[in-house]
Amino acid sequence: MKALLFFSAWGTRSGSSASAWWSTKHDERVATMTEARLLVRSCGPLVSYQDGGRPGMLRFGVPASGPMDRLAHAAANIALGCPEGSTAMEISMGGLEVVCESGEVTCCVSGGDFQVRHSGALTKSWCVRTIRTGDVLSVRPGRWGSWAYLAFCGELVCEQWAGHTATHSTSGLGGGSLAPGAAVLLRNTRIAEEREGDLPVPAFAYSRKLARVVLGPQTGRFEADSAAAFLQESFAVTPACDRMGMRLSGPKLALKDALSIPSEPIVRGSIQVGGDGVASILLADHQTTGGYPKIATVLSSDLDGLSQLRPHDNLGFQAVDAMEAIRLVRAEAPLRSQFLKEIARPLGSLQNRLMRENLISGFVLA
């Protein structure tokens, strides 16, 4: 009875206002049901769907996966007004080219210094653009960086596993990899012209050629001169690098009897050394346990920039103790948060942008 009385009372509002309310709600529903369809014309290996990752499952033997460059992935989403963990396309140095077959949607490209071509117009990554039916968008590697991200004002429709679309490259679990000819569906798309333009690239978003590390946990399993060589000499990234990790060339890190240690949990950023004395840095799709000794672990705040290194790039290591590592990470976190907060603000319409600028610096008598 109460429900009926409430409905009756609600129904007594004037016909015009009720009609306007229903019209508004209908328009909102129509607006959220828009779609866009893309076709992948070409792409390299390791181009995949990635959301923010699948944390908390290491005890089940499942790595978090997610983006190789977590800052760039978050920035691409936030610049569009989307949650930072939303699904985006992760693009390797093999590049990606898509054509918009129907609909329209605003998108953002971030990550390394990649070349972005939008229907003939060439620009760089860290930009927001709108693609419409017939438009071609290509993302190719530029001067530096190994990974780029393509995010959309809309929902990328792809598979989920364990509640996330993050793709585990070796098993294929998650949203999956993209290949030429793949169809891409976006739901609830929208145009955000007030967000179009170029984004600033902060210094901490660049590739990082000096990584800070905490030594251990098996530093004592190495010969005495190995730790010194690890910190004093230079390494280079080899072509043997992917989402699981990167193998380094450089000084051999001689071991004692460390290969006899039992397997134990490992984390993203662990630097393990095989029996041949070669170091490898474990990254997003790392295995969850391992029996190789680990000479050090990279600070989490340095991993995004380190992941952007290309084969043959040089890399050095600087040791800090555990307490200093915590202080550094905490000190740098607000800088990243402030940057994301700044790019979350829309630039505004063209009219508003012009009104904010002082377009007249003086006058002359003519």
Question: How many angstroms separate the CA atoms of 10 and 117, rounded?
Answer: 53
Structure tokens at 123: 């620009």
Q: Let me know: does 297 contact 248? Beta carbons within 8 Å.
A: no
- 3-state class (DSSP) for residue 289: strand
Q: What sign for the dihedral angle of Cα 334, 336, 342, 345?
A: negative
Predicted confidence (pLDDT) per residue in 24-68, tens digit: 444 434 344 699 999 999 999 999 999 999 999 988 889 999 999
Question: How many angstroms separate the CA atoms of 294 and 275, rounded?
Answer: 12
Q: Where does the pLDDT of residue 16 fall: very low under 50, low under 70, confident under 90, or very high at 90 and above?
A: very low
Question: How many angstroms separate the CA atoms of 333 and 321, rounded?
Answer: 18
Give the chain's count of helices (H) and strands (E): 7, 22
pLDDT of residue 263: 87
Lowest mean pLDDT: which of 12-21, 65-74, 242-251, 262-271? 12-21
Question: How many angstroms separate the CA atoms of 150 and 88, rounded?
Answer: 6
Q: Let me know: does 196 contact 115? Beta carbons within 8 Å.
A: no
Classify the phi-psi angles of 229: left when phi > 0, otherwise alpha if psi is within -120 to 50, otherwise beta: alpha
Check pLDDT > 50 for residue 6: no
Nearest to 213 by CA among 321, 55, 74, 309: 321
Structure tokens at 125: 């990554």
Structure tokens at 158: 């792809």
Query: Dihedrals φ, ψ of 84, to 5°?
Result: -65, -20
pLDDT of residue 111: 98
Mean pLDDT of 187-201: 96
Structure tokens at 246: 């990167």
Q: Which residues pair with 185 in a beta bridge?
A: 37
Cα 233 to chain center, whole Å?
A: 30
Q: Where does the pLDDT of residue 5 fall: very low under 50, low under 70, confident under 90, or very high at 90 and above?
A: very low
Check pLDDT > 80 for residue 337: yes
Check pLDDT > 90 for residue 285: yes
Q: What sign for the dihedral angle of Cα 80, 115, 137, 173?
A: negative
Structure letter (DSSP) for residue 305: H
Q: Which residues pair with 202 in a beta bridge?
A: none
Residue 80 is which amino acid? L
Q: Let me know: does 140 contact 115? Beta carbons within 8 Å.
A: yes
Annotate 254-289 with b (16+ C-beta within 10 A) or e (fewer): ebeebeeeeeeebebbbbbbeeebbbbbbbbbbebe
Element (H, E) at 258: none
pLDDT of residue 341: 97
Residue 359 is which amino acid? L
- Which position has the higher pLDDT, 2 or 113? 113
Question: How many angstroms separate the CA atoms of 359 and 141, rounded?
Answer: 36
- 3-state class (DSSP) for residue 364: coil
Q: What sign for the dihedral angle of Cα 280, 286, 291, 294?
A: positive
Structure tokens at 181: 């000819």
DSSP state string for 314-363:
EEEEEE--HHHHHHHHHHHHHHHHHHHHHHHS----HHHHHHHS------
- Which position has the higher pLDDT, 100 or 27? 100
Q: Let me know: does 310 contact 146? Beta carbons within 8 Å.
A: yes
Residue 171 is which amino acid? S
CA distances to 59, 62, 239, 241, 293 from 289, in Å: 10, 10, 24, 19, 11
Question: How many angstroms separate the CA atoms of 290 and 263, rounded?
Answer: 5
